Amino acid sequence: MTNEPAPYGAHSPDGMVRWLIERTRAAGDGWLSKRVSFLLRRLAVKRLAGRPVDIETLGAKFRLYPYNNVCEKRILFTPQYFDGLEREILARHIGPGFTFIDIGANIGAYALFVAARAGNDARILCVEPQPDVFDRLVYNVRLNPFATVKAIDCAVADKAGELTLFLEPSNSGETSMKIVGSGGASAIRVPATTLLDLVRREGFTRIDAVKLDVEGAEDVILEPFLREAPRDLWPRLMIVEDGSGRWQVDLARIVQDAGYRIVAKTKLNFVFERD
């Protein structure tokens, strides 16, 4: 089941599922705590039997489908493990008039995390090309009283037009313009734009932070942007998924040569900052 039309709250967890969610969210950082939380998560997913869950997490309301999307599983059951250091650094940068672009927004976890903290004068743009996931993203945005978030259904690449997107069936968060998944991916055609064209079209005059999570295609987006965009459009903070094993260039070095420094390196992401 995806994009179920029932009103929000119709799928609030109760009984054993609610207890399991409470236990996984209370898990600590130790190895054993994480193992136990993952076991409890599997039990909860089995009991849900394909139903969605309406719940608050990361400061916002969501309808989550914790089945073929690891992001949704993480923010439902163990939000404390979801890019904790990255979100801590991002939160420290949030100030008046904050501008944030989330490329590969998935179901809106980062965008709504920022919106819940940034105030009414923020501007948040989230970009997601997968049609089903985009529908979930829009639903989650509309659940919340944040008039600061805009969602766009397109891909971001090195040129405008149309591109092939490979849909990963076991985890929609691994969908990419590069084939990176299990080999069972299906393909669809989606509209595409460049980051510079997107920023100009949306009328941004500055970008405080950007997050790029596009499964190994971060180089295709960011390298031409840093080469072609005026410096006053370069983000102050960038959270970039570590796709170094799939990048065609040494993107981390290119970003550092452009004047950014690495302020954090986690299992999944680089965090770059410039003064």
Whether residue 43 is found in the same domain as residue 104: no
Query: Is 7 domain-assigned?
Result: no
Residues 143 and 193 in one domain: yes
**Whether residue 109 is found in the same domain as residue 50:** no
Query: What pTM value is reported for the model?
Result: 0.92
DSSP letters for 190-202: EEEEEHHHHHHHT
Q: Same domain, yes or no, for 177 and 102? A: yes
User: In the chain, how many domains are there?
Assistant: 2
Check whether residue 181 and residue 69 sit in a common domain. no
Looking at 80, 103, 130, the residue that finishes a domain is 80
Segment among 132-146, 165-179, 235-249 with least mean pLDDT = 165-179
Alpha-helical segments (H) within 127-243? 131-143, 195-201, 218-228
Q: Domain holding 198: CATH number? A: 3.40.50.150
Whether 1 is in a domain gets the answer: no
The last residue of a domain, from among 35, 50, 80: 80
Residue 118 has, within 13 A of its CA and on its CB side, a CA count of 27
Same domain, 150 and 163: yes
Indicate whether 10 belongs to any domain. Answer: no
Burial class of residue 64 (count of CB atoms within 10 Å of its CB; 0-12, 13-18, 19+)? buried
Segment 37-46 shows an average pLDDT of 96
80, 113, 131 — which closes off a domain?
80
Same domain, 95 and 225: yes
Whether residues 132 and 144 fall in one domain: yes
Does 6 fall in a domain?
no
47-89 pLDDT per residue, tens:
999 999 999 999 999 999 999 899 999 999 999 999 999 999 9
How far is 188 from 177, CA to CA, in rounded Å? 10
d(CA 104, CA 182): 19
What is the domain range of residue 44? 15-80
The answer on 170 and 65 residing in a single domain is: no
pLDDT, tens digit (0-9, with 9 covering 90-100), for 227-267: 999 999 999 999 999 999 999 999 999 999 999 999 999 99
